[in-house]
Amino acid sequence: MAKVEVTVTEELGGARLDKAIVALVEGASRARVKRAIEGGEVRVNGRVLAKGGVVQAGDVIALEDVAVKSAEGGAVPEPDAPLTIRHESAAVLVVDKPAGQPTVVQRSEETGSLANALVGRFPELASVGYSPREPGVVHRLDTDTSGLVVVARTAAAFETLREALQSERIAKEYLLVCASEGLPDDGTIEHPIANHPKDKKRVYPCVHPRDVMRYAPRPALTRFTVVRCSGPWALVRATAARAVRHQLRAHFASIGHPLAGDALYGGAAEGAGAAEDAGTAETAFGAGIGRHALHASRVTYDGGGDPALAFDVSSELPADMAALVG
């Protein structure tokens, strides 16, 4: 990815961060700039700026250009691609993504993603959302995470749902499978999360105070309850209303309980409090599931007074995860 660094001019001193980026970075999309800022992908003088923050003349803004620029073309429509719709209204869809399918395409000519199926079935979505590659998609799931994705059908619905997501008014629940030994019946994980300092594929849960000072992480809160245990595995229900990238995977690894099948975080867990017993990692890799055991199982929103935007949708545990916990 191409790294972009721009310096705030005198004319933009005192401007809001998103407006400054749009003015300074040619081709920047305002919607994608906002998401990049909300996702902690933008640094000002090496640190994350709080939402709504302003910049001063001479500040250095660093970001990846793909994080703020829209692709030239949109997702290629695939009308015959499978698409499981769990909820449909005039304003919003909730669809069930299978494990192994990307939520959106990385390049405009790619096919096989949820985005291709969406724009194939609902062509009007091409003009909705962060970019033409992300038709109506309010939030993403990792390729190997299965479950529910919220999709806006109109530009007005997209803005409302995006704001609701950021203000934690859209509730999201997940089901996951991890090693059961030593896991409490319920708990809270609050380690803030930063971009990994050495590996762009991963994030870094900052357990030590020194890491918080060093890496300027984003706050992250995960609450969980064990649903049931079966042999070495626990089925866990978790909530993360405003989940950052890889939050659940990194959080459970940070407490020594990486998700079953999670090759990215299933080895030596990051940070203090991680299990030092190599057997825990071996168990995680030995799940035989072929992907990390994470499923987005429920999404709810009261509609903010608009019944067309309201939904409460659940998705059953997939067969591959169910096989681990009986």
Domains defined along the chain, listed by start: 3-67 (3.10.290.10), 84-166 (3.30.2350.10), 174-295 (3.30.2350.10)
Does the active-site annotation cover 142? yes
Per the CB < 8 A criterion, the answer to whether 96 and 118 are in contact is no
3-class SS of residue 69: strand
Q: Which residues are paired to 235 by β-bridges?
A: 177, 228
Per the CB < 8 A criterion, the answer to whether 100 and 108 are in contact is no
Give the model's pLDDT for residue 281.
41
- Rounded to 10 degrees, the C-alpha dihedral 4/9/15/17 comes to 10
Half-sphere exposure of 43 (CA within 13 A, CB side): 14
Give the model's pLDDT for residue 289.
86
- Rounded to 10 degrees, the C-alpha dihedral 173/166/131/127 comes to 90
Half-sphere exposure of 178 (CA within 13 A, CB side): 32
Catalytic residue among 142, 144, 211, 320, which?
A: 142
Per the CB < 8 A criterion, the answer to whether 76 and 111 are in contact is yes
Give the model's pLDDT for residue 277.
41
Residues 6+ apart with CB under 8 A from 116: 75, 76, 77, 78, 81, 105, 110
Query: In Å, what is the CA distance from 210 to each residue of 6, 199, 206, 220, 322?
Result: 28, 19, 8, 17, 39
Give the model's pLDDT for residue 70.
56
3-class SS of residue 234: strand
Half-sphere exposure of 168 (CA within 13 A, CB side): 9
**What is the C-alpha to C-alpha distance for residues 224 and 226, in angstroms, rounded to an integer?**
7
| Residue found under tokens 């030590």 | 208
Q: Exposed/middle/buried for 104, CB within 10 Å: 0-12, 13-18, 19+?
A: buried
Backbone φ and ψ of 182, nearest 5°: 85, 0
Per the CB < 8 A criterion, the answer to whether 45 and 60 are in contact is yes
Give the tens place of pLDDT for each residue, 68-124. 665 556 788 999 999 999 999 999 999 999 999 999 987 767 899 999 999 999 999
Per the CB < 8 A criterion, the answer to whether 19 and 61 are in contact is no
Give the model's pLDDT for residue 246.
92
**SS3 annotation, 246-286:** CHHHHHHHHCCCCECCCCCCCCCCCCCCCCCCHHHHHHHHC
The whole-number mean pLDDT for each consecutive block of 10 residues of the chain, a chain of 326 residues, reads 78 88 80 80 85 86 70 79 96 97 83 95 91 90 96 95 91 95 95 85 88 84 96 95 87 94 70 39 57 96 93 97 92
Give the model's pLDDT for residue 267.
43
Model confidence pTM above 0.95: no
